[in-house]
Every structure is written in C-alpha cells, then in structure tokens.
Amino acid sequence: KSTLMNIIGCLDKPTTGSYELAGQNISNMSETELAHVRNKEIGFVFQNFMLLPRLTALQNIELPLIYAGVDKKERQERSLAALTKVGLADRATHLPNELSGGQKQRVAVARAIVNNPKFILADEPTGALDTKTSEQIV
C-alpha cells in the first residue's frame, strides 16, 4: 500500500513502466517538477498527520501555500477558512502537542484542502475521528 500511495502521490517514481497524473507523465519528471505537481495537484492526509511540532495549527496549514508562493495575508485567510471548515478555528494558535489525535487529524485535512488540489490522497483520513466528526469532514 505504501509504495502505491507514494507513486500516486508523486513521492516516488515507478522503477518500471510509466505513470500519468492529470495527463502528465510523471515517470520522467525531475524532483523539482514532481514537487510542483504535488503542491498544485495533490492534497495529502497522512495517517500519522505529519504536523511540524513547532508550528501552530494555522502555520501547519499555511505550508502548502508558502510553497505555492501565496502572499502572507491570503495564506492566513485561506488557512483560517480551511481550519473553520473542519471546526477548529478556535485552535488556530495551538501547537500539535496541545491538540488531541482527532484535532491533529482535522488540521491535516485542512492542510490537504487549503490549496484546492485536484486530488486528495488520504491514508485513513478519519481514523482518529469519532463517527459524527468523520461524517462532517467527509
């Protein structure tokens, strides 16, 4: 499962054959080109959240927008809107170690959707959520 997810998400290239995402042949792209595709086309929700421990929830959500070159004001607005969508606007300034597992999961979902990707690649995106919250997020 991990190898397939990594190839689909442009984190790894196939060792044989080719792979296309949104009509683009990924197999022959450089690391820089792959990073651009990941940032523009794919939102990731990792099973273990992958939040940076020294950044607040809001700052963790801003990361894809920083890589995309979005200015600070728009980054903050879009990140807060994504955090609001997952019901955590009141936790914007909290560090990951101040959040429950379910809250970390929702921050990861907000980070995945903040850049309006064409695809969301999620590994158990509701695993740490209760049933009601899972239904709201999906």
* HEC sequence for the chain: CHHHHHHHCCCCCCCCCCCEECCEECCCCCHHHHHHHHHHHEEEECCCCCCCCCCCHHHHHHHHHHHCCCCHHHHHHHHHHHHHHCCCHHHCCCCHHHCCHHHHHHHHHHHHHCCCCCEEEECCCCCCCCHHHHHHHC
To the nearest whole number, what is the mean pLDDT of the chain? 89
**What is the domain count for the chain?**
1
pLDDT band at 14 (very low <50, low <70, confident <90, very high): confident
- For range 12-20, the mean pLDDT: 89
Q: Does the residue 113 lie in any domain?
A: yes
Assess if residue 71 is contained within a domain: yes
Q: Is the pLDDT of residue 6 over 90?
A: no
Q: What percent of the chain has pLDDT over 70?
A: 89
Band the pLDDT of 100: cuts 50, 70, 90.
very high
What integer is the mean pLDDT of 76-92? 97
Q: Which domain holds residue 54?
A: 32-137
pLDDT at 132 over 70: no
The model's pTM is 0.84
Instruction: Look up the CATH number of the domain holding residue 84.
Output: 3.40.50.300
